[in-house]
Amino acid sequence: MKLFLLVALAAASVAHAQTRWQLATGYRTESFHTQNIAQFASEVEQATAGALRIEVRPNNTLFKLAEIRQAVQDGKAEAGETIMTSMVGEIPIAGADAVPFVVHSYRDARRLWDLQRPLIDKHLAARGLQALYAVPWPPQGLFTSAPVRSAADFQGTRMRTYNQSTQRIAQMLGATPVDVPMVEVNQALASRRMDSMITSAVTGVENRVWDQIGFYYGINAWFPKNLVFVNRQAFEALPPTVREAVTRAAARAEARGWALSEAVATESTGELQRRGMRVDRVPATFEAELKRLGEKFSREWVQAVGNEANVIFVPYYFQR
């Protein structure tokens, strides 16, 4: 009888010690971002011997993507994932990775994140949040119906746009901006409502655009990042050993996620080529034009954001 009571008490103690978190994300279960999060959660549970269990809630099932940051801040969920550009209304510095034609490679994107993260940490801390890790989407490339050699080739054409940056890019290239939701892209291409768009090779594959468009240029326009973060109060309530396990698993998830992103980018670009699209780089002269656009965009962004933006772009440009 005494042994039974001891076992029961021990089991009750373990159950009491277990902490459950809900991690909300707006992305599909099949997304490499979500798969990376699921592995992160599994590693945390294993490293803590079940003391912390993170339940991943994908595809807007807990909160919609645009609501997740506030929901975690309010303690309605312990953790979440969102695209960093969704936070620019309150945290303008979060938009650094979406300034066009500044970052040209994953190496550049990594260097930009290293400069950006301390500022993100500061702003999240002021809101009761803590960053765990960030992973980029594959770079944004250029899809066109006809070959392009310079900005002049966009004169009189129509470019799909979906935010202020893409509208300005279209205008600066001399194209007419056309607001087309991604689900309507193939129809818009077939009806000649649009001639080009900037999006990732992954998005092109997911939407099977090769039936309507023939050219893809890897211009690496920008590398938008997803951020995984936690409610700081929930994090600090964990025992020190569990906090350490979460931090270590997050570091592994970040390294793994960057490698996954690059692999997905390569695989998707290869798939476009296998489907008959011409995959190429733009001519060096046009690449130089895009670089000048990037310098213009970054100057304007620094002016709009203020001195804090210089903390990122001054060392980014001058301390290579």
Q: In the CATH hierarchy, which fold is given to the domain comprising 140-221+278-318?
A: D-Maltodextrin-Binding Protein; domain 2 (3.40.190)
Domain boundary assignment for the chain: 19-137+224-272, 140-221+278-318
Give the pLDDT confidence of 67-89 residue by residue, as tens digits: 999 999 999 999 999 999 889 98
Q: Which of 45-54, 251-260, 288-297 has the lowest mean pLDDT?
A: 288-297
Residue 282 — very low, low, confident or very high, per pLDDT cuts 50/70/90?
very high
Residue 193 has pLDDT above 70, yes or no: yes
CB 42 within 8 A of CB 74: no
- Asked if the domains at 19-137+224-272 and 140-221+278-318 fall in one CATH topology, the answer is yes
Average pLDDT, the chain: 91
Residue 245 — very low, low, confident or very high, per pLDDT cuts 50/70/90?
very high
CA distance to 198, 216, 267, per residue, from 270 (Å): 18, 11, 5
Residue 95 has pLDDT above 70, yes or no: yes
Task: Determine the pLDDT at residue 181.
Answer: 83
Task: Determine the pLDDT at residue 294.
Answer: 86
Torsion angle in degrees (nearest 10) through CA of 200, 201, 206, 209: 110
Q: What is the DSSP letter of 18?
A: -
pTM beyond 0.95: the answer is no
CB 301 within 8 A of CB 95: yes
Smallest CA-to-CA distance from 80 within 127, 114, 141 is with 127
Greater confidence (234 vs 182) lies with 234
CATH of region 19-137+224-272, choose from 1.10.3720.10, 3.40.1280.10, 3.40.50.300, 3.40.190.170: 3.40.190.170
CB 56 within 8 A of CB 25: yes
Residue 51: CA count within 13 A, CB half-sphere: 14
The two structure tokens encoding residue 119:
């500022």
Task: Determine the pLDDT at residue 7.
Answer: 42
Residue 61 has pLDDT above 60, yes or no: yes
C-alpha 91/C-alpha 6 separation (Å) is 52
Task: Determine the pLDDT at residue 14.
Answer: 44
Report the greatest alpha carbon distance in the chain.
87
| Contacts with 214 (C-beta within 8 Å, 6 or more apart), sequence order | 144, 145, 146, 276, 277, 278
Averaged pLDDT, 107-119: 96
CA distance to 94, 111, 112, 118, 309, per residue, from 123 (Å): 9, 20, 17, 9, 13
Residue 34 has pLDDT above 50, yes or no: yes
C-alpha 230/C-alpha 124 separation (Å) is 10
- Residue position matching structure tokens 């994953």: 106
Give the pLDDT confidence of 171-184 residue by residue, as tens digits: 989 999 998 887 78
Smallest CA-to-CA distance from 239 within 80, 52, 72 is with 52
Q: Which amino acid is at 73?
A: Q
